[in-house]
Amino acid sequence: MKKVITYGTYDLLHQGHINLLRRAKELGDYLIVGVTSDSFDRGRGKLNVRNNVLERVEAVRQTGYADEIIIEDYLGQKIDDIQKYNIDIFAIGSDWEGKFDYLNEFCEVVYLPRTQGISSTMLRAENQKVIRIGVVGSGRIARRFVPETSVVDGLVVTSVYNPNKESADSFAVDFSVKAFWNSYDMFLSNIDAVYVASPHLTHYSYMKAALMAGKHVLCEIPFTLSKHEADELYEYAESHNLVLLEASKTAYCPAFGHIITLVKSGIIGDVVDVKASLSKIVKPPIREYDAEQAGGAMNEHAPLTLMSIIKLLGCNYAKVEFFSKVESGIDIYTKANISYQHATASITLGIGVKTEGNLIISGTKGYIYVPAPWWLTDFFEVRYEDQTNNKKYFYSYDGDGLRYEIQEFISMIVNKRKSSYKLRRNESVTIAGIIEKYNLKENYTEI
């Protein structure tokens, strides 16, 4: 019996897939089809897949050509499968010509003619309205955003707003978008959504005006510096069917998501302590050192570190206390201790003090260690008393990592989802509330 194997994502199954499967089946007597898992696709940067793995497997099954369907979940699996299933022929579309020649060592490799004029990418683009995004602010973070949008389908950055004309113009030239500087309303009138990456203290008013103009909003951290403001904006967005999302980038990246699901499945027992640190030394004069612009380590770095704690221990903390080292009116170092009924947590932040930027989640059975920089999560280890049970997890964290939040934002708009389980409204509001307590100097000690 001649056994053939072929692989693909098979998203929005189309005639090209059907032709390919038929041709592959005709090469032998038994066809195995490998369908990529959702996490494998995400890990290799394919962020736009519409159908989940169960839907894609079902679509392949319904073609009637597959004698067996398997899931492709890791790089290098093809070599394992070919040997494990005693495969005679590996078949794949001609768009991959030459790319799989290395498999000749294990079986015959056949490149089949690809059907012209159709692809999943094309179908995704056809039935999705392209969302026009305007960027508010044109500084360092905004500049990282535009290149990241190019790897996500379904959106286009069309414009930038900055009251500083020179900065808006230079951004517009660099990224081929239209600059607005004198009228925020005019800027809003030609777009569907905004990405707010302006100075901290302007977030609330830019978000509010955008939402009131009917635009979806993705806003950089710190989202707002007060609980009340965050609540008000989410309330408005929800009641007007608009997407409002905090751009807490780590919350949306694949490895961090896996940490949360592993912990929630009890892999380290009950979580008793979470320690998250983040320090980036910067030198004045810079916004981070400007008290007038809500600078300081807490406003700058608390959002990501608090996010990890809130995701793991929840919103119902009992008490928070702060310790800061202050220079020229801003905290160059802040430590916050957050207590829960059955757990403790702390964040250690610096813009003028350096610390090891790791994340440690301690539980009754073991702990998870995420080395610095933990917020660009691509690796973590689950550790136990008996070290032979330790397990390391590797992921990719592509580009500047903003692509994951952008993908979530677009998917929420397209699928009319008002909330993301990756960062819920109450989680985002709780983070804003803790930052507000800090700025109000509640339980605050200067060291």
| Contact string 73-102 vs ligand CTP (x = CB under 6 A) | -------------------xx-xx------
20 binds ligand CTP (CB under 6 A): yes
When the beta carbons of 151 and 282 are compared against ligand CTP, the nearer one is 151
Separation CA 48–CA 240 (nearest Å) = 26
Which letter, b or e, does each residue of 246-283 get, where b requires 16 or more Cβ atoms within 10 Å of its Cβ?
bbbbbbbbbbbbebbebbeeebbeebbbbbbbbbeeee
| 70 lies in the binding site for ligand CTP (CB under 6 A) | no
Work out whether 11 is an interface residue with ligand CTP (CB under 6 A).
yes
Query: Three-state DSSP class for 415?
Result: coil
Q: How far is CA 437 from CA 23, 223, 276, 299, 346, in A?
A: 65, 15, 19, 11, 15
388 SS3 class:
helix
Q: Is 37 in the site for ligand CTP (CB under 6 A)?
A: no
- Which of 3, 4, 5, 8 is close enough to bind ligand CTP by CB under 6 A? 8
Q: Are 299 and 435 in contact (CB under 8 A)?
A: yes
In the block, residue with structure tokens 């790791």: 358
Q: How far is the CB of 20 from ligand CTP (least distance, A)?
A: 4
**Closest CB to ligand CTP among residues 57, 233:** 57
CB of 88: closest distance to ligand CTP in angstroms?
17
Q: Which of 217, 216, 292, 221 is nearest to 250 (CA)?
A: 221
Interacting residues with ligand CTP between 102 and 141 (CB under 6 A) = 114-115, 118-121
Binds ligand CTP by CB under 6 A, chosen from 5, 16, 90, 431: 16
Site for ligand CTP contains 10 (CB under 6 A): yes
67 DSSP 8-state letter: S
**239/286 Cα distance (integer angstroms):** 38
In whole angstroms, the minimum distance from the beta carbon of 44 to ligand CTP comes to 11
Stretch that binds ligand CTP, among 1-9, 26-34, 71-79, 243-251 (CB under 6 A): 1-9
Site of interaction with ligand CTP (CB under 6 A): 6, 8-11, 16-17, 20, 92-93, 95-96, 114-115, 118-121
